[in-house]
Structure 1
Amino acid sequence: MSYWSGEVMLVVLIIVGLIGRSPIIATAASMLLVLKLTSLDRFFPAVERRGMELGLLFLTISVLVPFASEKVTWKDITPLFTTLLGILALTGGAVATYMNGKGLDLLKAEPHLIVGLVIGSIIGIVFFRGIPVGPLMAAGITAFLLKVYEWLTRSM
């Protein structure tokens, strides 16, 4: 069974992605299954090591396209520093990157948690129509929840 366990898990993820109408999960699992079945799984370490960087690169490129196409100008950026919504957006970005750093620290200390983060992300995608933005934010939220739990159990 161990020979087939990876393939079976990927097929299950493809089915979950299709049922949950999550083409990203279905496509990612399909691509990994193709790599595995064509004996190209030797590239898994490179994909694991650099895949997130590539994903973040393309995500960042897609977010920056409005700057390149001049749909967003300097005039549009000024309110970021002068309106409540803009200041909240700046604060949200700073808090998110801080939490991502805490998530990275947590994953370095407890790497096995990635399994729970991935399964939780799949649950969020399938049942809550969520968008997977990466395990670092999920780990950052987990680190925050862990601190809240520790604080609550200490104060009881």
Structure 2
Amino acid sequence: MSTNSRSNGSEPAIYLVTQPQYSSRLLKSSCLTAFSALSAARHDLWMCSLIATLVLLTSINYWRYPTKGWRRNMDMFAVAGGLVYHLYLSLSCQVQFYQILYYVLIANSIFCYFKSITCPNKNISYLWHIGMHAVGNMGTLALYYGLSHGFHG
């Protein structure tokens, strides 16, 4: 049996989406979302904090053993839902610099995601995905700062 599969003998093997050396690094980089959750709470953006926490938990749950299935689907659904909510919320950002910065960073994060899924070299593709985690969270931090300064200042 391969180290990238798990089977009890009577069921078909479940194969990992990526190798453990990559998924462990992606698990760590997905924890960057904790900074977004904490920043949202610090700025009294409680729904944003809840959504970031949900994304954090679904990502940890997925990357601990990344296989196709409900855990992956939940992670992708949480991220997509969070993105839609944040894009909608960004329309009310009164500080245009942070609104534009958010859009630029999120566009770059989406670019990193598509590079990660199309790159044939796994030694490179996981780095693109880590970049997506990092740049996406920088985007949410910029948005939260802009929203809080628009509400309070």
TM-score bracket for this pair, using the shorter chain length: 0.3 to 0.5
The one of the two structures with greater contact order (alpha-carbon pairs below 8 A, sep at least 6) is 2
- Is the helix fraction higher in 1 or 2? 1
TM-score, normalised to structure 2's length?
0.34
- Say which one has the larger Rg: 1
